[in-house]
Chains A and B, each alone.
Chain A
Amino acid sequence: MAKITLDNLAHSYLPAPKGPEDWALKEMNHVWGDGEAYALLGASGCGKSTLLNIISGLVHPSQGRILFDDEDVTSRTTAARNIAQVFQFPVVYDTMTVHDNLAFPLRNRGASAQYVAERVQTIARMIGMEDTLNRKARGLTADAKQKISLGRGMVREDVSALLFDEPLTVIDPHMKWELRTQLKALHHEFGHTMIYVTHDQTEALTFADKVVVMHDGRVVQVGTPEELFERPAHTFVGYFIGSPGMNLLEARVEGNRAIVDGTEIPLGADYGRPGGRVQIGVRPEFVRMGADEGGLPVRLTRVEDVGRHKVVRCDHDGTQINAIVAEGADVPADLSRLEFAPAAVNVYSDDWRVAPKSPAEEAA
């Protein structure tokens, strides 16, 4: 296992990049801890696959270095980097048994027969395929084949890192649950450094210790699921994480209050008087249906019953504001006010979060 350092890393697919739009990956410096599970999360084209391919050695970066522990591996081939990879679609040897598929990476490196036998058993148990070890892989379902791919990715204990590229795409929702739980348990048990690329926020948040949110070739935030949810560092994180995402409103901020079209919204801390384009952001989970007097005036447009809760969609002067309310909650047809929990309101200036003046209050 290894710590991974991205040192001044940047990449362009063009031979002579000029403006920032020519860079698929803009300059970044990060250190990812040994034995931690990271998810790279972002929309198509955000640069997450480019970054993964640089880490695996499939792409040589235009600029900067990549270190495993403190060793520079920038110029090493994929094979020389001592990593295991699992891809979007299953990669298995159809003519081999499940057992031999799992044993392949170990035998390749000359592991003893006894070690191979033990290790394959352990992995087979983890992926729930002990009963099918002697079957040929041919004819198994896509789910089963992807489990073999996951198992083969995990089988070596001595890899520097495990890289997953959208590994659950072809899997049914119910099976996704099972595989994700197994991956999580595997990480808990073996403590590999894991990097998991996905566009699915649920997968990213539930899998990772730290989620790396990417947007437009940049890392906009590295944080725990809780941090990304409660304190999105960038409006993109607010929008991209959460379903529906964070509500954003143009505002003027004066200390511990925001003014939105003449309505005063109390804030949980003193934010001073930020400049630039100022917005406040509040997640639908922290929006309440208000009484007649207080709160932001809105018009109810739609109520969606999502089963475990309802999404109340409203309009404030052309801006959509969503609230999440309980499964059994009554949504009055003449709903006209929404209130925000002050401590859950974040302030943004030119899309980046403004830190409050009184950090003690933020911690509370």
Chain B
Amino acid sequence: MTLTLEGVSKVAGGEVHIHPTDLTLEAGTMNVLLGPTLAGKTSLMRLMAGLDVPNTGRILWQGKDVTGMRVQDRAVAMVYQQFINYPSMSVYDNIASPMKLSGKSKAEIDAAVRKTADLMQLSPMLDRRPLELSGGQQQRCALARALVKDAGLVLLDEPLANLDYKLREELRAEIPKIFEAAGSIFIYATTEPEEALLLGGNTATLWEGRITQFGSTPVVYRQPADATTARVFSDPPMNFLAVTKSGARILFGDGQSTAALGPMACLADGEYLAGFRPNHLELEAPDGEIMAFDTTLSVTEITGSETFVHLDHHGERWVGLIHGVRALEPGSDLRVYLDPAHVYVFETGGALVAPASYAQAA
């Protein structure tokens, strides 16, 4: 079972929603579409589902061209951000509803409903109506309906966005297990990097209607192909600084410099963009070769176990995520450290020149 997009693009009202896109998804995989609002996640899903017809390109299902085929004639299930259930039907009938048109026997339907309800932990609630359930249970009911018909392609458009934080956390942990048990192609849209990481599988990062990278989720996270992917796949955002490589030194615009260490040591002289994630910024100098920066602290935020420090580095805004609780005075000067193994180097145009060396080891 495969879904293939060949040069698929979508233009609506003179605006490009999706630039020409090639993508192949395999059976039994979880595929995350990660990007901010308006990046094109929903547009891409609608094309995959057959809800919209692309302006160019072809969509192949098992190698067969389905580009013009209506959504009703495809083996597709979709779950939206808003929980969509039939309010007057019981949970049982809600889950069974997609199968009623399939011509399956009552016994087959019953077995499938009970199995899916069990998986989604809805078995004790089969006789209730959706509105008598909590938000999390309502969305599980909608998820069960998408799973029960055994569609080859299941599309989930930010399905947990309207749920409480804790419920989201619990469903996020459950969803990958459910998907491992099913054999379908799953596509899951989210704006949150952490959600992509928890779901695992593959991730396609989207930015302004383009897939910037597609691959195994941890690989895309640790080896982003360009600065845009790194920015999309980092929350808090990745920190950047413009640098010049000159001989054995890395120069910052303000007259500061450090030795060119790690991935920067073997670069040709010239201008680059260096990037690092907030959790790799340190307040104490670790052992070994280290880069140091003088910054001004603008705000701190304490989560109980960690402290976010918002910094100003000569006009560049950085965020650091530091272990433990730190009492630091806003407005004060702060020297911060960075292990060169955690630094990504990009061309000024954004393409990756050298991945952080720790990521290659991982």
Contacts and interface: CB of A to CB of B under 8 A. Distances in A.
Interface of A: 43-44, 172-174, 177, 180-181, 184-185, 188, 199-202, 205-207, 224-226, 228-230, 239-245, 283, 285, 304-308, 313, 327-328
A207 B166 CA distance: 18
B221 A205 contact: no
In the A-B complex, the 8 residue pairs with the smallest Cβ-Cβ separation, listed nearest first, are A229-B304, A206-B301, A308-B279, A225-B304, A205-B303, A199-B164, A225-B302, A226-B325
B165 A307 contact: no
Interface of B: 36-37, 134-135, 164-167, 169, 173, 191-194, 197-198, 200, 218, 221, 235-237, 277, 279, 298-299, 301-305, 308, 310, 319, 321, 325, 330, 358, 361-362
A308 B277 contact: yes
B301 A174 contact: no
A172 B221 contact: no
B164 A202 contact: no
Given A188-B330, A200-B165, A308 B321 contact: yes
B304 A205 contact: yes
A188 B304 contact: no
Q: From DSSP, what is the main secondary structure of chain B's interface residues?
A: mixed
Contacts of A180: 301
A172 B37 contact: yes
Contact of B304 (A184, A230, A304, A305): A230
A328 B362 contact: yes
Given A313-B173, A327-B279, 17 more contacts: A43-B164, A44-B134, A173-B193, A181-B299, A184-B301, A185-B299, A188-B299, A199-B164, A205-B301, A205-B303, A225-B302, A226-B304, A229-B304, A240-B166, A242-B304, A307-B277, A328-B362
Contacts of A308: 277, 279, 321
Contacts of B197: 304-307
A240 B168 CA distance: 12
Contact of B192 (A173, A243, A328): A173
B305 A283 contact: yes
A188 B173 CA distance: 37
Given A306-B194, A306-B197, A202 B303 contact: yes
Contacts, number: 96
A301 to B, nearest CB: 10
A202 B236 CA distance: 12
B302 A185 contact: no
Contacts of A225: 302-304, 325
A244 B198 CA distance: 12
A185 B305 contact: no
A172 B36 contact: yes
Contacts of A305: 197, 200, 218
A177 to B, nearest CB: 6
B299 A226 contact: no
B194 A307 contact: yes
A177 B169 contact: no
Contacts of A307: 193-194, 197, 221, 277, 279
Given A201-B165, A240-B166, A304-B198, A229 B191 contact: no
Contacts of A188: 299, 330
Most B CB contacts (10 A, CB to CB) among A205, A240, A283 go to A205
Contacts of A283: 305
Contacts of B36: 172-174
Given A225-B303, A328-B362, A206 B308 contact: yes
Nearest to A176: B235
Contacts of A327: 279, 362
A282 to B, nearest CB: 13
Most A CB contacts (10 A, CB to CB) among B218, B305, B325 go to B305
Contacts of A245: 166
B85 to A, nearest CB: 17
A307 B198 CA distance: 9
A45 to B, nearest CB: 8
A228 B325 CA distance: 12
B304 A228 contact: yes
Nearest to B342: A327
Given A173-B192, A226-B325, A185 B298 contact: yes
Contacts of B236: 177
A200 B166 CA distance: 8
Contacts of B325: 225-226
A207 B298 CA distance: 14
A283 B362 CA distance: 26
A241 B304 contact: yes
Contacts of A226: 302, 304, 325
A200 B303 CA distance: 12
Contacts of B194: 306-307
A288 B342 CA distance: 25
Contact of B198 (A202, A306, A328): A306
A97 B313 CA distance: 34
Nearest to B310: A181
Contacts of B279: 307-308, 327
Contacts of B164: 43-44, 199
A200 B302 CA distance: 14
